[in-house]
Amino acid sequence: MLLGTLLGHASCDKEASAAAPVAEEQPTAPPVAEDLYVSSELLLSVPKEMLQQLVAKQGFGSYGHEIKYGVSVFRLIYTTTYQGQPIHASGLVCLPQNMSTPAPVISAQHGTIFTEKDAPSNFEGLSGFELFASAGYITLIPDYIGFGASKNVFHPYYDQKHSGLAVVDLIKAAKTLYEKEKVVADDKLFLVGYSEGGYVTLAAQKEIETNPEHGLQVTASAAGAGGYDLVEMLSGIKTGQTYPYPAYLAYVLQSYNRTNKWDRPLSEFFQEPYASRLPSLFDGSKSGSAINRELTTDPKKLFNPEFFADLQQDGEEQALKQALRANSFYDWVPQSPTRLYHGTTDNIVPISNSRATYERFKARGAKQLEFIPLEGKGHGSALAPMLQSLVPWLQGFE
């Protein structure tokens, strides 16, 4: 499929996922949609013919017939909730041009990013997800809290409530924009994401399915390679085996510390020289690869020895361990058709994480659930085959 191929090449060249935090303050009833839209700006308008030419230049000219519409790309500023207070967030809204029939809505959640320039709404060119709009989907791509309009906040990485609300509130706010642009939506809503985006996708699905006051219904959801069981992720780290992407570990702990207002010195979590380096490493200017080069893949050398020892003890570091449990998907079962994808050779988020989550969901009564292992694929290489499988599945709901 064109979308699967192009998205696999173009979209998730970013980093992806690992573990997570929880907020102390939870919002009450969500605002109505009219209150969420703040402003929008047209960034790019690409006619169908130009998209077909771009596809041909990439060597996929035989698929040009799948480009049915031109695409208008908007940056949207909207209101969501952070630590119980309203905050402005941002994302992209990509609209098919001159579509005569109502369009389904798809929210596409990206993998882990570290640099501000990689936020979708900064739009340094087509990411690939916009191509969903050329096939006739109203396409939403959230930045997440901590990027774009909310870049002054430390990203609440793997925090279930903040992740879910950032997506849900964008879906609700975007209605105002596409109605202004006279693009009509039908009643179908799809959620798709990979790596951190896989986790965020399930967080948004849970938020919608457990809070009917949002007035939304998920048609189908597909999540790839997210760290859904954070306690299992911690268990893997506690063994002391090398971890190839230490930037994720540093991301998680700093996020927990900020999001939950623990405000502990970083030296309580990390050894020197790493504790002193982290603030400048996570200032929004450095990629995950650049951060990795300044850290160590050995958890016993990365973490403060007392902290690492306490992780092994049941009675120690209870706030952290409770946050991991609270942000894992233990207390909810998907109600909508849901697929979990995962590469069998993933050494960042082991496939056992998705398999255990699938088995837990099934044991608790999930009826429309599939687990799809992607043979021989790692964390970076599983996205393209996931999307190649996913696109015809989504089209089957039309």
Q: pLDDT tens across 159-185, in order?
A: 999 999 999 999 999 999 999 999 999
- Report how far residue 14's alpha carbon sits from residue 114's, in angstroms, rounded to the nearest whole number: 9
pLDDT at residue 24, as a whole number: 37
Where in the chain is CATH 3.40.50.1820?
2-229+330-395
Q: Which residue type occupies 137? A: Y
349 touches 197 (CB < 8 A): no
Average pLDDT by consecutive 10-residue portion of the chain (398 residues)?
Answer: 46 38 41 76 92 75 77 97 97 96 97 96 76 93 98 98 98 97 97 97 98 97 97 89 95 97 97 97 97 97 96 94 96 97 96 97 96 96 91 91
- Calpha distance 252→248 (Å, rounded): 6
The per-residue pLDDT for range 234-244, each reduced to its tens digit, is: 988 988 899 99
CATH code of 237-325, in short, is 1.10.260.160
- C-alpha distances in Å from residue 229, one per residue of 193, 203, 237, 345, 359: 16, 12, 13, 18, 12
> From the CB of residue 398, how many other CB atoms can be counted at a distance below 10 Å?
10
Is there a contact between 86 and 36 (Cβ–Cβ < 8 Å)?
no
340: Cβ–Cβ under 8 A, 6 or more apart, which residues?
A: 198, 223, 224, 354, 357, 358, 369, 370, 371, 372
Please tell me the pTM assigned to this model: 0.91
Q: Angle 379-92-191 (CA atoms, 0-180°, nearest 5)?
A: 55
Q: Where exactly does CATH 1.10.260.160 map onto the chain?
A: 237-325
Taking the CA atoms of 261, 262, 267 and 271 in sequence, report the sign of the dihedral they define: negative
- What pLDDT score does 53 carry? 85
* Short-list 39, 218, 191, 46, CA closest to 121: 39
Quote the pLDDT of residue 124.
77
Cα angle 292, 298, 302; round to 5: 75
Q: How far apart are the first and last CA of the chain?
A: 17
CA distance 161 to 81: 9
Distance of alpha carbon 161 from alpha carbon 144, whole angstroms: 12
Nearest 5°: phi and psi at 334?
-60, 135
In single-letter form, the type of residue at position 201 comes to T
Fold category of 2-229+330-395 in CATH: Rossmann fold (3.40.50)
- The rounded distance, in Å, linking the Cα atoms of 375 and 7 is 19
